[in-house]
A and B are shown apart, each in its own frame.
Chain A
Amino acid sequence: MTSAPLSPTTASFAERGAAFVVRWGFIAVTVALIAYFVITEPNFRTLDNVFGMLKFIAPTAIAGLGVMLAITVGGIDLSVGASAGFAVSIAAWTMVIGNQVGGVAIGVVLLGGLLIGGLNAFLIVVARIPDLLATLATSFVIVGLKLLIVDGKSISSQMSLADGSTAPGKFTADYLWLDRGSLGPVPIPVIIFVAITALLWFILEHTRWGRALYAVGANAEAARLAGIRVQLYRTVAYMGCGLLASIAGLLLGARIGQGDVSAGNSLLLDAVAVALVGVSVLGIGRPNAWGTALGAILIAVMVTGFTMVGLPYYAQDFGKGIVLLIALLFSFTFSRRRTVVTAGSTTSS
């Protein structure tokens, strides 16, 4: 009849081939990379190395999951690097200068992450500043605030203070356990990484709140008319992002063992890259938790492998950039190249 579907229901061979490449391409690349390193590098295939890689990438992956939340509601958060760095310094400051135990530091940092997320949400949702610009501005503010609080210095145990005395506190064992502890053979950061991924996957894929988050990202106006509290969900997403960035900072701080003021600087690009790779990695075409985790693992494999085969550290950025570019090509150029027929205008999506 007149209202037959416009798009083909039976995709051509080429289209199905493209869909297959999109869906499995990244996994194939990861597996191939792993296979290569497993064969050429005896150290690569040890269990220690596997957990080491996962532990190494955990902060990036968790911050990437935060960015993923922002992308889910149709936004972006460029302040995750600054937030993680803020968390590193604030945790150190609370323990070393404030002489508190690790538990208090963790609480302060998580609260700080929520506040930063809340500030971003306020600027984007209420003040209606574009997400990119709002979070770029807050990342400057956060970095600046951090430097003001710590007098521009890295904080370490037993450091000497301006008045000549020695700092009263130190990095406590319970805080350092976040990095050095393990359950059986599995390091704590890996457990946190996997647990957060699984939790976010469940929320996004299997709960109505997750569906609502996706709806806000897919068509905010349609979501609003469907009775979804769009502003509320966007606020929650940015606060979640702030919280995850601060968790990434906690793990980073525990790994470094001091309040390094430059910590978190390189995290932002990696986190954004991981979230964007996550959009394309399983051919799902939207931000998703396992995809983000896989994107992080791919980068970990690459970085570890590069290091083992003796490539200089600065080759890593080149590799990451290429991976991100390929992911973007998959997301925007090769995926579901379908002509959306709307009355009068045609857009490819």
Chain B
Amino acid sequence: MIDSSIPEGGDQATLSPVVSLSGVSVAYGSNVVLTDVTLDFFAGRITALLGANGAGKSTLIKALSGANPRYSGDISIEGTLLHLSSPVLAKAHGISTVHQKVADGIVPGLSIAENVMLDDLANASRHPLRNAKQSLLDARAALATLGLDWPDSLLVQDAARLSISDAQLLVLARALRGTPRLLILDEPTSALTAAEAERLFTVLRSLRDTGLSIVYVSHRFGEIEALADRVVVLRDGVVQHNSERPFAWNAILHDMLGRATELEQTRVDVRRGHDVVAHVSGVPLLPAAPPLDLEVRTGEVLGILGLIGAGKTELAELLAGLARPASGSLSLGGEPYAPKRPSDALRRGVVLVPEDRQRQALLPGWSVAHNISIPFLKLSSALGTLRGAREISRAQQVIDSLGVVTAGPSASIDDLSGGNQQKVVVGRWLSAEPRLALLDEPFRGVDISARREIGDRLKDLVAAGDAAAVVLSSDIDEILEVADRIIVLVAGAIELDAYADETDRASIVGAFLGARTRDHSAVPPEGHPK
């Protein structure tokens, strides 16, 4: 059962680790977020790092990448004890990090070649004059390590024009310059389509075979099963699990969540909706896509599965009044529906939990109660004067119904973990008692317990019979867990529409793949998808 790429006789006791952590702890003030972590990372191995939100994954990565020099304990590289006091120092010693937000790693306005060579700008030993020809050559060499053969005409273009997956590869190529010993990847596939992710995996496997040690952070078990040689699970800042292949997933999940969890929940209660609450007729979701017809029914949770660029967000924005149909029409409750702005949608009982919690939903520094009441200021006031008690009671209801872990309605939203912030956002919108609730990637970066809680509330919402919920996601497990009816969306077209008990994972995957072989040009639009 041992992966073929692991060197024969590669017994851990005889191999010396590339990077070794011993008793590493990190505390922010009195808050200890990483406790006594002892780990070894070996050459030619991919170590998957798992953990729920707030488990300490990011903290560990920050310490390893030099971004947080205030750790205690020892980190040694190839046997030499070092204090990783800065990202530059960590990189100089062969620890290279690709952070989750690809866009943060790209400098718009600089060419692709210059972005590949970005680290040279901070390198004092380099010649201060930039030689365009040389930098093209260097960039091409760097990209060649990933097997990328981008022409010069592309390399001189503004890097902001790259699609997100190409930008991901660019950042990776940059990280691989100077031949690192340890490569850290933080959720590298979170913005990639399945095909793009597969391309990345091929690259990572060949890098591993050259002897690179890779730390791979992900929420996606499937990827880890396909890729990793070892799984390390963090919970509450402590290493709970550290095992080699074959992976015992139930044990891993148990250690991650601290309770027994079935990986695959058996669905016994698939609801079938009755009345059509919203009707999309003849609306193309993407510029090149065919007109789409779609019915959303009350009394069921509709899961729309699609990758980035499939038109999910476009569909949600259409229904929530953020965008207008290019052609065709919408109806809601049997009446024409043409919202001009989100407030129109809200008035008609349509709410949207947007994709990006930080950017589109949260009011930083505000209390939980004020974050929840923001769409309901009219209801929370009398003659325009706000009534604090109404805001508090609405917030308390949300906290109770979703099990939000917080000090109370007056606590700052910044003090909540990501999963609890998401519960607040979902609870905010469900407290509107909507007729149609749209949730765009509601489980992104959310741990399983929060996911369950949110899923249960959606079921409660539709169980009453006169409301519908639509969950849009690119994760098949999330959809299988929460949806009564499943639609697979590929490049703006419906490839599958079935109730959960009429289909299975294989058919759903088949719908994806069938569509992909027919439509090979299904690439995300230029620039950064939202």
Contact = CB atoms under 8 A, between A and B. Distances in A.
B527 interface: no
Contact of B53 (A2, A212, A228): A2
A259 B104 CA distance: 53
B407 A9 contact: yes
A341 B381 contact: no
Contacts of B100: 343-345
Interface residues of A, number: 45
Contacts of A336: 365
A2 B449 contact: yes
A286 interface: yes
A68 to B, nearest CB: 17
Interface string B156-186: 0000000000000000000000000000001
Interface in B347-375: 347, 352, 354, 358-366, 370, 374-375
Interface stretch (B86-94, B324-332, B409-417, B498-506): B409-417
B314 interface: no
A8 B374 contact: no
B420 A215 contact: no
A211 B374 contact: yes
A194 B258 CA distance: 58
B370 A15 contact: no
Nearest to A203: B384
Interface stretch (A133-141, A145-153, A219-227): A219-227
Given A12-B30, A15-B29, A344-B187, A225 B322 contact: yes
Contacts of A206: 385-386
A345 B61 CA distance: 11
B445 interface: yes
Given A6-B31, A223-B374, A343-B100, A209 B363 contact: no
Given A207-B386, A345-B100, A5 B364 contact: no
A40 interface: no
Contact of A3 (B62, B374, B419): B419
Contact of B365 (A207, A285, A343): A285
Contact of B420 (A3, A224, A228, A340): A3
A123 to B, nearest CB: 22
B415 A9 contact: yes
B43 interface: no
B447 A2 contact: yes
A349 B362 CA distance: 14
Contacts of B104: 345
A208 B31 contact: no
A345 B419 contact: no
Most chain B CB neighbours (cut-off 10 Å) among A206, A211, A343: A343
B30 A10 contact: yes
Interface string B234-259: 01100000000000000000001110
B415 A229 contact: no
B447 A3 contact: yes
Given A207-B381, A222-B362, A2 B235 contact: yes
B342 A345 contact: no
Nearest to B32: A8
> Among the interface residues A11, A221, A285, A345, which one has the most CB atoms of the partner chain B within 10 A?
A345
Contacts of B186: 344
B363 A349 contact: no
B342 A6 contact: no
Given A1-B405, A207-B384, A343 B377 contact: no
B267 interface: no
A8 B29 contact: yes
Nearest to A286: B365
B30 A338 contact: no
Contact of B31 (A7, A211, A225): A7
B418 interface: yes
A147 B447 CA distance: 64
Contacts of A7: 28, 31, 414-415
Contacts of B274: none
Contact of B384 (A10, A209, A218, A342): A209
Q: Which 3 A-B pairs have the closest CB atoms?
A: A344-B100, A227-B343, A208-B377
Interface of B: 28-31, 33, 52-55, 58, 62, 67, 99-101, 104, 186-187, 235-236, 256-258, 320, 322, 341-343, 346-347, 352, 354, 358-366, 370, 374-375, 377-378, 380-381, 384-386, 405-407, 414-420, 445, 447, 449-450
Given A7-B415, A15-B29, A341-B54, 4 more contacts: A5-B420, A215-B374, A221-B359, A341-B418
11 contacts: A3-B417, A8-B28, A12-B29, A207-B385, A225-B360, A227-B346, A227-B347, A341-B54, A343-B58, A345-B99, A345-B101
